[in-house]
Structure 1
Amino acid sequence: MSERIYKQQDELAKLIERYSGRDGVHATAIPSLFFTRRSKVTGSNFAVYNPSFCIVVQGVKEVLLGQERFIYGPTDYLVASVDLPVTGQVMEASSQVPYLSLKLEFTPGQILEILSDSEVRIDPKENAKRGMFVSRMELSLLDAVIRLARLLDNPKDIPVLAPLITKEILYRVLQEQHGATLEQIAIEGSSTKRIRDVIEHIMNNYDTSFRIEELSEIANMSVSSLHRHFKEVTAMSPIQFQKQLRLQEARRLLLSESTDAADVAFRVGYESPSQFSREYSRMFGFSPIQDIKRLRTINV
């Protein structure tokens, strides 16, 4: 790691510490920017990553997408180009050197604006690509991230400068080796854009059963093409994707509303409470009742 990158990361770590203060995920005055601080290694955390650019400034994180593992630390960045249910785990953290990270959310519209401005030639017929990747952090990209975070010290500059610097960050990611992954989410007619439409449909209707033919119509693909492209983007089938969404929402409801497990099973779309309990145990390692008791004990 070069001396300049080391100094930049040290400055960014101090900024995140200053605007975090304690463990947890912290919103900032920049609506799309979030900081995370953890003072100890965590267990598996289940979440849905929306389109976002993520960097770890201190520590190491592991993210599982389906059966695929992504590990990144201070020399890397991670991008999720579409909504993806994942399992995350902080692997290196301590009270002396806490895990510190930054997440910048973005939209396909922002990507499309950059592509329009830069007049990049795009092939809409290019095959769908995995909706998550890890890449090497370059100095020019880190410099833009630092400038965005510094705006928190000058709130009056945020409305004008934050959108411009965010655009620069996304532009620099588009210029690097995985840039085509981002390009494809914004291009009408591309395989990735059509899979994104299917993902959006499942996200909005996760509690409702669907026919695979219905999804293939949304994507304007054959059933076999839909399965192939969906798995390429998300590392799972549409059914597996929906199941993860259902179980994550069920866990959230059980933890926040102290409601009955059978009632939650029906609310998230299961017809059989016993099937719900089996699949919940398979995903989280405990039955619904055991899991919620355990989580409440941990969070006390």
Structure 2
Amino acid sequence: MEKRIYNIKNYKLCNQQRRLASLVEKFTYRDGFQSTDIPSLDLIRASNISETLHSIYIPSICVIVQGAKTVILGKESYRYDANSYLVASVNLPIIGKIIEASPDHPYLCVRLSFNSDQILDIIKESKQNFEEKPGLERGLTVTKGNASLLDALLRLVSLLETPEEIPVLAPLFIREILYRVLQDKHGYILKQFAVIGSHARAISKAINLINNNFEKPLRIDELANEINMSSSSLHHCFKKVTAMSPLQYQKQIRLQEARRLLLSEVLEAAEAGYKVGYESPSQFSREYARMFGLPPISDIKRIKDSIYINF
């Protein structure tokens, strides 16, 4: 009997994944990252295994419906595919690589972004008690997929076929998706960043402050004072959430922004470095090469000579 129930559940999941994959293919006319008529919903497609890509994950739920990807945060590696989904609770600089994709079976992913206020509203209005655990958890987790979540996601993506229904129905389906994630095994990880007064909420504020002022010198004592923490607590809690120190985090944000500037604007390497907060061109070039494998000018030339798609 248990095996029969498992088979029925597995069949339902596979059927939902196939239907989602068909919809994502329908609305992705090229490889890469594509926005939709639903502001917080994006679709991603790749017809080939990718090179290693640096990017910033915003608070979001990423559900792969075909293919697989690895993500590195700090020194930790995560793998997820059509049987799992990823939740990023705060802005995190990551290194990603699509590891399963082909022209016949492209990598297909759905990303739904959210903010902590949406999570807090659901927590306040729900009559259920979401699981809480002591201590801080990583701001990134990979969890096994389930039929309830995929069903809600399928209804949301299906709205792209009836855009006139999006203003009324999309907020309801998005709310259900977030609720399903909160109900899931690792829902407490998402909740911790929405609870006012929690250490996780304070670290989320620190992350936002760094992102909004990454080009300025980072003074840990001032940042700690802003979020009402001691410097030692800030350092400890920040590393628990992001797998890196505040200074390491700022460096990754700076270098990724410098790379974006060099790709999108006509700038000298030293000028790009200065714009993101480096006073020493040699230090900028050294740290850039350490992160991306080549000095700025050589790296940008390599990217422009290749087919570069930001996933």
The TM-score normalised by the length of structure 1 is 0.97
**Equivalent position of 1:114 in the other structure:** 122
Q: CA deviation at 1:121?
A: 5.1
Separation of aligned partners in 1, 2:35 and 2:130: 34
- 1:269 pairs, out of 262, 266, 277, with 277
Contact (CA 8 Å) 2:67, 2:99: kept in 1 or not?
yes
**Equivalent position of 2:240 in the other structure:** 232
Contact (CA 8 Å) 1:55, 1:103: kept in 2 or not?
yes
Separation of aligned partners in 1, 2:138 and 2:128: 21
**Equivalent position of 1:102 in the other structure:** 110
Separation of aligned partners in 1, 2:63 and 2:184: 16
Q: What is the Cα-based RMSD across aligned positions, in Å?
A: 1.5
CA change 1:12–1:224 in 2 (3 A) is: same
1:290 and 2:298 are equivalent in the alignment: yes
Q: SS at 2:301's partner residue? A: helix
Q: Which amino acid aligns with 1:41?
A: I
**Equivalent position of 1:79 in the other structure:** 87
Cα-to-partner distance string for 1:20-54 (whole Å, 9 max, x where unaligned): 02111111111100001100011111111110000
Contact (CA 8 Å) 1:126, 1:190: kept in 2 or not?
no
Separation of aligned partners in 1, 2:76 and 2:92: 12
Separation of aligned partners in 2, 1:123 and 1:163: 25
Q: SS at 1:299's partner residue? A: coil
Sequence identity, in percent?
A: 51
Q: Which amino acid aligns with 2:186?
A: H
Q: SS at 1:186's partner residue? A: coil
Name the stretch that deviates more: 112-121 or 84-93. Answer: 112-121
Structure 1 unaligned residues grouped into runs of 5+: none
Separation of aligned partners in 2, 1:157 and 1:121: 32
Q: CA deviation at 1:126?
A: 3.8
Q: Which amino acid aligns with 1:293?
A: K
Cα-to-partner distance string for 1:169-211 (whole Å, 9 max, x where unaligned): 1101111121111111111110100000100100000000021
**Equivalent position of 2:147 in the other structure:** 139
CA change 1:124–1:191 in 2 (3 A) is: farther
Separation of aligned partners in 2, 1:211 and 1:37: 40
Separation of aligned partners in 1, 2:66 and 2:122: 30
Separation of aligned partners in 2, 1:123 and 1:5: 25
Q: Which amino acid aligns with 1:97?
A: H
Separation of aligned partners in 2, 1:278 and 1:227: 25
**Equivalent position of 2:219 in the other structure:** 211
User: Once superposed, which parts of structure 1, at least 4 consecutive aligned residues long, lie more than 3 Å away?
Assistant: 119-126
Separation of aligned partners in 2, 1:119 and 1:282: 50
**Equivalent position of 2:28 in the other structure:** 20
Name the stretch that deviates more: 2-11 or 192-201. Answer: 2-11
Separation of aligned partners in 2, 1:172 and 1:219: 30
- 1:69 pairs, out of 77, 81, 105, with 77
The TM-score normalised by the length of structure 2 is 0.94
Name the stretch that deviates more: 221-230 or 75-84. Answer: 221-230
Q: Where in structure 2 are the equivalents of 1:145-160 lying within 5 Å?
A: 145-160=153-168
Cα-to-partner distance string for 1:66-90 (whole Å, 9 max, x where unaligned): 1111100000000000111111110
Q: Where in structure 2 are the equivalents of 1:165-176 lying within 5 Å?
A: 165-176=173-184
Q: Which amino acid aligns with 1:141?
A: L
Structure 2 unaligned residues grouped into runs of 5+: 1-6
**Equivalent position of 1:43 in the other structure:** 51
Count of residues in correspondence between the two structures: 300
Contact (CA 8 Å) 2:255, 2:288: kept in 1 or not?
yes
Q: Which amino acid aligns with 2:219?
A: R
Separation of aligned partners in 2, 1:54 and 1:179: 15
Separation of aligned partners in 2, 1:97 and 1:122: 37
Q: SS at 1:46's partner residue? A: strand
Name the stretch that deviates more: 130-139 or 210-219. Answer: 210-219
**Equivalent position of 2:200 in the other structure:** 192
